Amino acid sequence: MPAAKPRTMPGVLELLPLDQVAFQGMLDTIRRNFERYGFLPVETPAMEFTDVLLTKSGGETERQVYFVQSTGSLEQGERPELALRFDLTVPLARYVAEHERELSFPFRRYQIQRVYRGERAQRGRFREFYQCDIDVIGKDHLSVRYDAELPAVIHSVFRELAIGPFTIQLNNRKLIRGCFEGLGIADPARQMAVLREVDKLDKRGAGAVRDTLTGTDYGIEPATVERIMRFVETRSRSHAQALEQLAALDSGSELQRQGVAELREVLTLVRAFGVPETAYALNLSIARGLDYYTGTVYETTLDDHPQVGSICSGGRYENLAGQYTSSHLPGVGISIGATRLYWQLREAGLIRTADSTVQALVTQMDEAELPRYLELATMLRNAGIATEVQLEPRKLARQFQYADRAGIRFVLVLGSDEIAKGTVTVKDLRKQDQYEVRREELAKALRVEIEQAVVMGAGTR
C-alpha cells in the first residue's frame, strides 16, 4: 500500500526530461556567454546564517524568507539560525567581504543558482527559481565603463537564445534625481516615492500615473507633473537620437549633468562593444524599484512580447557590502530570472520541447549480436555522440516507437545483412530519411548531420 501521494509543493517548476533539456540548454547558453565575457564562476551555500542574511532587508523580503532548522534544533524549540537565500546579491556581498583578501579586483563573477522565496502561491510566481547573475565589483573605485560592458553581455546572451528582437533600455538614477531636484522635488524619500510611481508608467499608462501624482497623495502641481511626464516618456529610436536627447538634458544641477555624462559614455561604449543600435535605447522611465541602485539602470524587454516584462535587469550600486565590511566596494550587475523567463517563453509559445540529449539509439535485432551493438555504441560515444543501446529484446517497431517518443534522432540498425557487408543502416527520424553507411564512417556521418543542425539552430548543441 503506498504510504504517501507523490507530489511537489506549489510554486516550483519541475520539468519532464525533454523540457529539462530545453531549460538546461538555456542555462548553458547563459553560462557560455558569461564565461565568454570573462566572468568567473562562484557558488555559495543555499543556507546562510539568519543574522548575516537579514542585516539589510526588512519588510516584504523578510516576510518571504524560508527558515531552516535541523531536527535537534527544532525539538529544542530554538529560533532558527539558518535561512535559505532569497537572491544572489546578499550572498555575493557576504562572499566578497569574507574573501576580500583572496580576490582580484575588479572582481568579475557569475553565479547561476536557485533562490527561495516564501511567496503567496500564484500563477507565474515561484518559490524556488534560478537566478543567473553577473557583477563586476571594484575596490574603492569602478569605472562607469563597466556599466557599458554589461549590455554587451546581455546582447550576446539573448542573441544566442534566439527568442526574437529585444531592447536593452538604459537610464541613470542621477539623471532622474537631478531632474526631479530641478523641479523642486528635493527630498530623497519623496523622490523615491515619485520614482516608484514613474516606474509603473509602462504598466499603468501615462494617465493613471499623472492622476496619482497630481492627486492628494502627492499633490504635485499639474505643470510640474507635465514636465516630469515629458521627461520620463523620453525614448530613443536610434543611437544618434539618444545622444541628442541627452544633449537637451545637459543642464540643471551638478547631479543631472553627471547623469547625462555617465549615460553618454555608457551609450558610446555600448556601441563600441559591438551592440547594434537596434538592441538598446534610452528609456528615462526605467528606475528599478530597489533603493540601492545609484547610477546606470537597465531593463530588457522583448519587442514582440512586451507583456513578458523585463527579462534581464540591474544597475550600478555604490557600495555592495557595507553591512559586512568597512571596505568601499562599488559594483554593477544584472540578473536573469531563468525559471520565470523559461516559463513565460513557454507560455508565449516561444520555445518548444528540445530534442533529446540522446542522439542515437542502437537497436537490437538479434540478442546474440549484443556485443556488436555495444561495440558500435562505444565507437559512437568515443566520438562524442550521446548513444543509448537497446539492451532488452523488443520488437523492432517498438524500438522505433520508443526512439520517436523519446526524441532521439538517429536509429541505427545492424542486422545480419549489415554485419555481412560491414555497414550500418541509419534512420534519421527528424529528416524522415534512411541510408546505409560503412561502419567506420558512421561516427563522422552522424557528426556532420549534428553539426548542420546546430548551424541551422535546430539542435540542442
- Residues 165-194 touching a second copy, rule: CB under 8 A, are none
Task: Say how far apart CA 120 and CA 111 lie, in whole Å.
Answer: 26
Q: Which of residues 403-432 bind a second copy (CB under 8 A)?
A: 405-406
Angle between helices 206-214 and 188-198 (to 10 degrees): 150
Q: Which of 269, 286, 332, 414 is in the footprint of a second copy by CB under 8 A? A: 269
Using alpha carbons, list the distances in angstroms from residue 447 to 162, 440, 457.
23, 13, 15
Collapsing DSSP to helix, strand or coil, 286 comes out as: coil
Q: How far is the CB of 13 from a second copy (least distance, A)?
A: 9
Q: How far is the CB of 261 from a second copy (least distance, A)?
A: 16
Residue 5 interacts with a second copy (CB under 8 A): yes or no: yes
Q: How far is the CB of 80 from a second copy (least distance, A)?
A: 7
Q: Which of 381, 430, 439, 447 is in the footprint of a second copy by CB under 8 A? A: 381
Do 320 and 93 form a contact (C-beta atoms < 8 A)?
yes
Q: How far is the CB of 295 from a second copy (least distance, A)?
A: 15
Query: In the complex with a second copy, which residue's Cβ is closer, 52 or 229?
Result: 52
- Reported in sequence order, the residue ranges of 117-163 that DSSP labels E, i.e. its strands, are 128-137
Query: In the complex with a second copy, which residue's Cβ is closer, 41 or 164?
Result: 41
Residue 69 interacts with a second copy (CB under 8 A): yes or no: yes
Q: Which of 65, 225, 284, 413 is in the footprint of a second copy by CB under 8 A? A: 65
Q: Which of residues 123-152 bind a second copy (CB under 8 A)?
A: 128, 142-143, 145-146, 149, 152
- Which span sits near a second copy by CB under 8 A: 204-212, 266-274, 281-289, 413-421? 266-274
* CA-based R_g, the chain, Å: 27
Q: Which of residues 332-371 bind a second copy (CB under 8 A)?
A: 356-358, 361, 370-371
Q: How far is the CB of 256 from a second copy (least distance, A)?
A: 25
Instruction: Name residue 411's beta-bridge partners.
Output: 361, 427
* Residue 67 grid coordinates: 527558515
Query: In the complex with a second copy, which residue's Cβ is closer, 56 or 264?
Result: 56
Instruction: Name residue 297's beta-bridge partners.
Output: 171, 315
Name residues whose C-beta falls within 8 Å of residue 240's C-beta, 6 or more positions apart in sequence. none
Q: Is 63 exposed, middle or buried (0-12, 13-18, 19+ CB in 10 A)?
A: exposed
Q: Which of residues 44-63 bind a second copy (CB under 8 A)?
A: 44-49, 51-52, 55-56, 62-63
Collapsing DSSP to helix, strand or coil, 103 comes out as: coil
Q: Which of residues 272-331 bind a second copy (CB under 8 A)?
A: 272-274, 321-326
* Residue of 64, 68, 70 whose CA lies nearest to 127: 64
Query: In the complex with a second copy, which residue's Cβ is closer, 4 or 397?
Result: 4
Q: How far is the CB of 179 from a second copy (least distance, A)?
A: 28
Q: Which of residues 432-451 bind a second copy (CB under 8 A)?
A: none
Q: How far is the CB of 5 from a second copy (least distance, A)?
A: 7
- Which span sits near a second copy by CB under 8 A: 253-261, 399-407, 425-433, 438-446? 399-407
Binding residue count for a second copy, defined by CB under 8 A = 105
DSSP codes, 327-389 = S---EEEEEEEHHHHHHHHHHTT---PPPPS--EEE--S-GGGHHHHHHHHHHHHHTT--EEE
* Residue of 453, 341, 333 whose CA lies nearest to 26: 341
Task: Say how far apart CA 408 and CA 401 lie, in whole Å.
Answer: 10
Q: How far is the CB of 163 from a second copy (least distance, A)?
A: 20
Strands 107-116 and 40-41 turn out to be parallel
Q: Mask: binding to a second copy, 94-123, rule CB under 8 A, as x and -?
A: xx-xxx--xxx-x-xx----x-x-x-----
Query: In the complex with a second copy, which residue's Cβ is closer, 401 or 416?
Result: 401
Query: In the complex with a second copy, which residue's Cβ is closer, 9 or 223?
Result: 9
* Residue 171 grid coordinates: 537610464
Beta-carbon neighbour count of residue 383 at 10 Å?
A: 13
